[in-house]
């Protein structure tokens, strides 16, 4: 139920939905005064939430900074890779398709090859309301095996649908396999704050290793500051989703 409710909440927290509602109200309201107010509010919301400069500045406040590899002065027993939108599979062709958060598993692979981590723990279930049998961690293990990562260093939790479950299910693996281990937590910079809080709540001390950084150096060119960009809407979606998720987890006692 929590999983379903979180998906519904994410939909209604989307700025695109707010803008759409305001525009629809502007078209259907018979009261011209309120219709005009809704139209103006909708246009202003559109200009605000599609402004790349504003979106980047907001993201900059929440994203967890990257960890430089030179700061990893010792090897970790395991790198914990949290899933979410990394891979799906076309069952007709039996071919995997990789998506936006793939940086997580690629960085884990690089760390393994560089002997910074000795094992890779993949934690991710379906994450979809529809394709419940498309288990992301299992697909990622298949990919790693295909590129000759030994089966003996890959551990899989394919039951988790959210960050809280990632922490709970991964804790069981770590307690059994690496009871005194040191762990690197690998997830997107946007997701890292909530992820670290969940893992520490379950008694797992982790070192953060952020990936998928969205922001970079500040840009001051004309198009970045003044031209609407629909990608900024997606960035706001991610930010609002994470902040709301952290708040809900705090209320639920997950962090």
| pLDDT average per 10 residues of sequence, the chain (255 residues) | 70 93 96 96 97 97 91 94 89 88 95 97 81 84 96 96 95 95 97 97 96 92 94 95 94 93
Domain that holds residue 235: 2-63+222-252
Residue 217 lies in a domain: no
pTM: 0.91
Q: In this structure, are 205 and 101 located in the same domain?
A: yes
Q: In this structure, are 137 and 203 located in the same domain?
A: yes
Q: In this structure, are 32 and 78 located in the same domain?
A: no
Residue 127 lies in a domain: yes
Number of compact structural domains in the chain: 2
- The per-residue pLDDT for 2 is 63
As a three-state string, the secondary structure of the chain is: CHHHHHHHHHHHCCHHHHHHHHHHHHHHCCCHHHHHHHHHHHHHHHHHHCCHHHHHHHHHHHCCCCCCHHHCCCCECEEEEECCCCEEEECCCCEEEECHHHHHHHHHHHHHHCCCECCEEEECCCCCCCCCCCCHHHHHHHHHHHCCCCHHHEEEECCCCCHHHHHHHHHHHHHHHCCCCCEEEEEECCCHHHHHHHHHHCCCCEEEEEECCCCCCCCCCHHHHHCCCCHHHHHHHHHHHHHHHHHHHHHHCCC
- The per-residue pLDDT for 131 is 64
- The per-residue pLDDT for 130 is 62
- The per-residue pLDDT for 89 is 87
Q: In this structure, are 167 and 106 located in the same domain?
A: yes
Q: In this structure, are 126 and 39 located in the same domain?
A: no
Residue 216 lies in a domain: no
Q: In this structure, are 200 and 123 located in the same domain?
A: yes
- The per-residue pLDDT for 67 is 87
């Amino acid at each position: 139920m929590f999983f379903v409710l979180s998906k519904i909440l994410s939909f209604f927290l989307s700025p695109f939905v707010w803008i759409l509602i305001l525009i629809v109200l502007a078209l259907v309201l018979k009261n011209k005064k309120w219709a005009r107010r809704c139209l103006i509010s909708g246009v202003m919301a559109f200009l605000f939430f599609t402004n790349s400069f504003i979106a980047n500045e907001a993201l900059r406040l929440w994203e967890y900074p990257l960890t430089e590899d030179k700061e990893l002065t010792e090897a970790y027993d395991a790198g914990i890779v949290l899933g979410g939108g990394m891979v799906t599979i076309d069952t007709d062709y039996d071919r995997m398709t990789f998506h936006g958060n793939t940086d997580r598993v690629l960085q884990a692979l690089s760390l393994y090859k560089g002997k910074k981590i000795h094992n890779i723990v993949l934690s991710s279930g379906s994450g979809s309301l529809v394709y419940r049998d498309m288990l992301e961690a299992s697909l990622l293990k298949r990919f790693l095996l295909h590129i000759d990562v030994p089966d003996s260093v890959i551990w899989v939790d394919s039951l988790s649908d959210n960050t809280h479950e990632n922490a709970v299910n991964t804790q069981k693996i770590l307690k059994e396999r690496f009871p005194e281990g040191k762990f690197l937590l690998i997830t997107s910079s946007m997701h890292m704050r909530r992820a670290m809080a969940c893992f520490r709540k379950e008694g797992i001390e982790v070192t953060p290793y952020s990936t998928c950084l969205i922001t970079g150096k500040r840009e001051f060119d004309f198009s970045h500051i003044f031209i609407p960009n629909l990608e900024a809407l997606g960035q706001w979606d991610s930010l609002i989703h994470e902040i709301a998720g952290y708040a809900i987890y705090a209320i639920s006692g997950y962090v």
